[in-house]
Chains A and B, each alone.
Chain A
Amino acid sequence: GQQVMQIPQYQHVQEGEDFTTYCNSSTTLSNIQWYKQRPGGHPVFLIQLVKSGEVKKQKRLTFQFGEAKKNSSLHITATQTTDVGTYFCAGQSYNTDKLIFGTGTRLQVFP
C-alpha cells in the first residue's frame, strides 16, 4: 500500500536558523498537503500543492512539490519560537480516495 515517509523525525534549531523537512511517497501523488500540529493540539492545514515542480510561499515558509510528484519539502527561513510543532505532509495517490499522512517532523526552536 501507499506509504509516506518524512525526515528527519526530530529537529532542534536555534531561533533564527533555517529548517527543512522532506517528504517521500512510495507512489505518485495527485496532490500533497502540509499540516502543522502544535503540542497538545490538532493538525491545521497549511497548504496544498498539485502541479509537478510547484513552489509556493507563505511568508517564511516555502513548499515544493517534486517533478516526479513523489516527494515534497517544507523549508522555514529564520525560525521563530512560534514555529514549534510537528509538521506533517499528506498525500493522495491517483485513483484513490485516501489521504495518507507522513510520519511527521517535530520541530523544537530554542530562543
Chain B
Amino acid sequence: NAGVTQTPKFQVLKTGQSMTLQCAQDMNHEYMSWYRQDPGMGLRLIHYSVGAGITDQGEVPNGYNVSRSTTEDFPLRLLSAAPSQTSVYFCASSYWGGSLDTQYFGPGTRLTVL
C-alpha cells in the first residue's frame, strides 16, 4: 500500500493564480481531510469528507474548494491564490465509524504564494 499520497511536493504560485493540490489514498478510508500548518498555529482543518459525495467545512475554509467524487481522491482547489495561503498543506485519511480513528497523513505540499 502506498498509503496517502500528495502531489506536488512543492509549488510556487503568483497571487491570483489557481491550482489543485492532489490527495489520494489506497486504504479504502471513508474519512479524508485537509489541514494547513503554519508556524505557531498547529494544524488547522480546512475541509473534510466522511465519504464520497459528502464534504463539509472545517475551521478555515475560505479561499478553498473541495470535492469527493471517489473514495480514493480528495483534491483541494485554491481558487485565487493569496500570500496568506502560503503554508504547508497536509491531507489525511482514516476509517470512519462515527468516531474518528487513527489519521494517516500524506507527506505534505509546501506552497508559496508570491
Contact = CB atoms under 8 A, between A and B. Distances in A.
Interface string B77-114: 00000000000001010001001111111111000000
Contacts, number: 60
A85 interface: no
Given A42-B107, A88-B43, A97 B35 contact: no
Nearest to B42: A103
A42 B56 CA distance: 23
**Interface size band for A:** 20 to 34
Interface residues of B, number: 27
Contact of A101 (B35, B48, B99, B107): B35
Interface in A61-106: 88, 90, 92, 97-104
Contact of B103 (A1, A30, A33, A103): A33
Given A88-B42, A102-B42, 6 more contacts: A31-B99, A44-B105, A45-B102, A45-B103, A101-B42, A101-B44
Interface of B: 31, 33, 35, 40-45, 48, 50, 56, 58-59, 90, 92, 96, 99-108
